[in-house]
A and B are shown apart, each in its own frame.
Chain A
Amino acid sequence: MLEKSALVTLNKVVKHFDISGGFLEQLRFKGLRPRLEQKKVHAINDVSLAIEPGEILSVVGESGCGKSTLARTVMGLYAPDSGEIYYENTRIDTLDSTQMLVHRKKMQMIFQDPYASLNPRMTVRQTLEEPLRFHQPSISETEVRDRVAEVMEQVGVNPVWGERYPHEFSGGQRQRVSIARALMVDPEFIVADEPISALDVSIQAQILNLLMEAREQRGLTYMMITHDLSVVAHVSTRVAVMYLGTLCEVAPAANLFETAKHPYTRALLSAIPKLGQKKPRHIKLKGEVPTPIHLPSGCVFHGRCLYANERCRREVPRLLALSSGVQVACHGVEEGRVLD
């Protein structure tokens, strides 16, 4: 394996979910011949991505495009069907749970729903102590208490509230506790799965700022899953755009908002309302998002793309690195058909 500078590398990761159910539900008759038919949701198709140390990579896309599945696959909650995932130079998707423990300490996750991500039967202190005691069994009682107090202080939850249960907190406070839990083991890399989308608008900025502060103090790397484009513009260094389980474009955040290349990215960005705009210049796409059970042939976007031609219908586009660090998967951009 080549030496990599990236912290987390995904190489041609594929994740499908079998939804065909049991044997009887799979059984179909064609004429008189019985045969088994399997249905699969193609959640992630051939995604390759490298996350550099210190960056904030946002993954954006509409609902059901596989963002959350990608996050969970990176964290090892789902095993990929094919492809490889590396942490620094170690392949982690094939490790068993004991070998994985070393990496569990370095990668943590923050979840979307602060009402479901904390165990309702454990006090905040128990929730926060658990990862610490588990990963450092030799740690002393006073040290545990100090660390918990320190992290609670850092996320803005009064350590005195440690004996309370999650239901006694508001959504924003719970999300702070959830962040504190991720920070307890001193990770290097945090996957945040829509960390603010379940929160009140007035709280969203606070939580975002908290995440940014934690990054500065601890030198964290984030992979942020979101569908909120204004958040993307505000915080991220790089953006990956997903459509139907496929990466369309990966670009530095500043570039993306000014010179998006991929037709889908352009359509997506044109949907952001702008202040003082008299005539909104929405790019209107035709049709609906196809079902991920039967993926379109060739480029998954060809059915709705304004520039699609015969090649797009046949051939799956590969992610192509342009100058200025932008990667685009589009035949049109490659051939120069899609004009700026």
Chain B
Amino acid sequence: MTRWQAFKDSYFLYSFKRDKVAVTSFVIFLLLLVMAFSAPWTAPHNPYDTATIDIMDSNLPPAWMDEGETRFVLGTDIQGRDLLSTMMYGMRVSILIGLGAVILQAVLGIFIGLVAGYAGGRVDAFLMRLADVQLSFSTLMVAIFISAIFQTAFGAGRYEQMAVPILILVIGLAEWPQYARTVRASVLGEKGKEYVEAARVIGLPSMRIMFRHILPNTLSPVLVISTVQVANAVMSEAALSFLGLGMPVTRPSLGSLINSGFEYIFSGSWWITLFPGFLLVLLVLVINLLGDWLRDVLNPKLYKG
């Protein structure tokens, strides 16, 4: 209970409550999260269940338009799936991939950054050049490369089953240098401090000093870039799916939904692209706004009077 009390009295919560943008973003973000993860119970239709999809319902406009039906509030896509349900399911996929990719990036990047910063010298030079090489390829290029190889090697059918873990792997591998660099920079600052020397005088092994003593003191910048990276990963996934290298049409993410509607936008079916697009922008925007706020709070140099 004391921990809760401490949280209630903290500067963190105080500044959060005073920042209207942060509060609004947080509320919207929570709403989107609930929408996405409660989809199997709250969505009006199940887009994964082919038995309930009727091709005769395809391409219906939103309910408030003349040809719209009240069964499908935001209309249907070209296969006759309810767009609202498909978006909810799709957002779930997008967020899952985003979070998964960020966790992978973080694990890789934090470990490499810690080792590089703490060991220094040649190890540091080698790992950081590796990061530079990785960063010099654009994320999309690496992702396209890997998924293209996978698709040809295992066939499109197998790819459809494996799409989520592969996308997590691809996006995670492409962006770890962001974490590695941030963590290394903070480690370089921390390792000269006397508490690290004190830990060495006790005789603690390097691994323990790195993870128990240095890592907790480098976590606030990591927290900040994590929010930005989640947004980035969601965008990368959407971009890949839009290019046809991401989630298959049978289990669409927001990106592949936008893509599938794009072909019909000139035949008048604007809703298939517009609604998922709007949802994607909203999701990425609120995450970024939250990240901005977090950076301001965790950086004491930016305290505003």
Contact = CB atoms under 8 A, between A and B. Distances in A.
Interface string B187-199: 0000001110111
A111 B200 CA distance: 13
> For the complex, would chain B's binding face be called helix, strand, loop or mixed by DSSP majority?
helix
B155 interface: no
Given A109-B197, A109-B198, A119 B204 contact: no
Given A119-B213, A119-B217, A185 B194 contact: no
A104 B193 CA distance: 20
- Which of B200, B201, B204, B216 counts the most A-chain CB atoms under 10 A from its CB? B201
B202 interface: yes
A286 B210 CA distance: 47
Interface string B253-266: 00000000000000
A97 B194 contact: no
B181 to A, nearest CB: 18
Interface string A110-150: 01110011111110000000110011000000000000000
A104 B202 contact: yes
B205 interface: yes
B204 A75 contact: no
B194 A134 contact: no
Contacts of A113: 194
Nearest to A184: B202
Contacts of A306: none
B194 A116 contact: yes
A119 B203 CA distance: 16
A256 B262 CA distance: 89
Contacts of A73: none
B256 to A, nearest CB: 43
Contacts of A118: 195, 198
A161 B79 CA distance: 66
A58 B41 CA distance: 74
B203 A117 contact: no
- Which of B194, B199, B204 counts the most A-chain CB atoms under 10 A from its CB? B194
A111 B213 contact: no
A107 B200 CA distance: 12
Interface residues of A, number: 28
B201 A104 contact: yes
Interface in A76-127: 77, 97, 100-101, 104-105, 107-109, 111-113, 116-122
B208 to A, nearest CB: 8
- Which of A118, A119, A120 counts the most B-chain CB atoms under 10 A from its CB? A119
A182 B199 CA distance: 11
A185 B201 CA distance: 11
A111 B194 CA distance: 7
Contact of B217 (A101, A104, A121): A121
Contacts of A107: 201
Nearest to B2: A163
Interface in B190-236: 193-195, 197-205, 213, 216-217
A120 B193 CA distance: 11
B201 A134 contact: no
Given A121-B216, A121-B217, A116 B202 contact: no
Contacts of A72: 197
A19 B195 CA distance: 24
B200 A117 contact: no
- Which of B193, B198, B199, B216 counts the most A-chain CB atoms under 10 A from its CB? B198
Contacts of B203: 97, 100-101, 104-105, 134-135
A120 to B, nearest CB: 7
Given A100-B203, A181-B198, 11 more contacts: A75-B201, A77-B200, A77-B201, A101-B203, A104-B202, A109-B198, A111-B198, A112-B194, A119-B216, A120-B195, A134-B203
Interface of A: 72, 75, 77, 97, 100-101, 104-105, 107-109, 111-113, 116-122, 130-131, 134-135, 178, 181, 185
Closest 6 CB pairs of A and B: A104-B203, A117-B194, A121-B216, A111-B194, A119-B195, A131-B202
